[in-house]
Structure 1
C-alpha cells in the first residue's frame, strides 16, 4: 500500500548512461517511469534502493526505441500490468525488441501534446536523434516541473521555449568532444554522435542550460554520459566552467548533480 505524506513532485534518476536509462517520477496519485533501459530485475533492484516498490509503478513513458531505453519495457508491462505510452512510430520500431504488450496497455502519445493523468500533466516534445520518432517529456505537478532531455543532436528554439525555467532538468552531456575525436570509436560512429541526429556534448549541454535555466531552476542532473568518451568529473567541470563564465550561480542558485550507470540518485522533492 502506498503511503502519501505530501503533495510533492519527487524524482530519482535510477540509471543514466549510454548503456541504460531509467527515471522515476512520483506524485501522490502516480508513480511512473521514463524509459526502461535495463532488465526488469535491475529496475526492481534500483527502485528498492530508493525505498520504492515496483508494484506501485502504474505507467511507463518511452522516449525512443534504442535498446538503452527499452530493454525492460516488455517485461515490466507484462509482469507489472503497466500502461505504456509512446508515439506510433516508436511503437512500431520497438515491437520486435520488447515482445507482446497487451493491447489495452498500449497507449499512443504523439509529440507536441499534453496529457493529464489525474494530478500529473505530461508534455511531449520532438527531438533530433537517429531513431524512428524520438520524443522527450516535461512533467508538471503542483506548480513544479521536471524535464528530461537526452539523446538529441541539437536543441531547437521551439524545444528551448517548451522546457525553459523548469524546477529540475535531466540534461544530456554525452561526451567530451576531444575525448570522442581522439578515442577508439570508428570514424563513422564518431560522425554519427557529433551529427545533428546524435548526442549533445558537455559543451552543448551547458549551452542549452544557459538558454533554459530560470529563477525556478534548482537541480540539474547531467545524464547519458558515455563511459568511453566522458567522465563525471569532466562533464561536471565543463558544464560548471561554462555556466560560471556566464555568471550563472552554480552551487548557489542551483545544484549540478551526477548520474550513474548503476547506482540510483537519491529521491528528491522539487
Structure 2
C-alpha cells in the first residue's frame, strides 16, 4: 500500500477533508439548514391550512345549496380572506420577532463596546455551563471573541445568527402562496365536476392532499409518517363533516 503522507498532491484533499464537519456521510451540517427547514414546514402547514379551511367552507356551502356560483363566490372569498389573513398575521408576527432580535443585538453590541471584559467573562461562563472545562471555556471564548465577538455572543447567549435574521416579507409571501395553493384544490374540486360528483371528488381530493401534507411534514421533522397522516386526514374529515352538517341543517330550516 502506498504512503501518500509526503505527496504534495494529497495535501489539498487532506485539508478539504479536515474542513468537513464530523457526522454521518451525506448528513447536511451547513448553516441555514434549520432556517430552510422551518420555511418548508411553514409552507406545508400553510398549504394544509388552505386545504382544510376552504374544504370546510365549500363543503358547508354545498350542504346548503347546489348553486355553482354560490360555491365559487364563497370559495374565492374564503381563499382571499384566508391567504391575506395568513400573510398579514405572519408579517406582523415575524416583524415583532425581527424587532426583538435587532434590539437584543443592539444591546449586545453596546455592552461589548463598553464592558468587553465582563462580556468575555459572561461568554466563558455560558460555555462552561455547557459542559466545557473552565480553562478550555476561557480559551474558546477568547478565540471566538477575537474572531467575531458579536456573532459569538449572539449565537451562544441569545441563540441568534446575526447573518440570518428573519425576513417578514419572505414569511408573508410564503404564507400567502402556500395557503392559496392549498385552497385552490378544494375550490376547483367543488366547482368543476358535475353536480352529482362534487362532494365525492372534493372529499377524495382533500384526503389525498392531506395525506401528502402529513407525510411531507413528518418527513421534514424526521417523525413517523403514519401518526401525522392519520391526524391530518381525521382533522380534515371532521372539518368537512361538521360544516356539511351545519350547511344541511340551515338549508333544511330555511335559514
TM-score class, shorter-chain normalisation, is under 0.3
Counting helix residues as a fraction of each chain, which structure ranks higher? Answer: 2
Counting strand residues as a fraction of each chain, which structure ranks higher? Answer: 1
Q: Normalising to structure 1: TM-score of the pair?
A: 0.24
Q: Bigger radius of gyration, 1 or 2?
A: 2
Q: Normalising to structure 2: TM-score of the pair?
A: 0.25
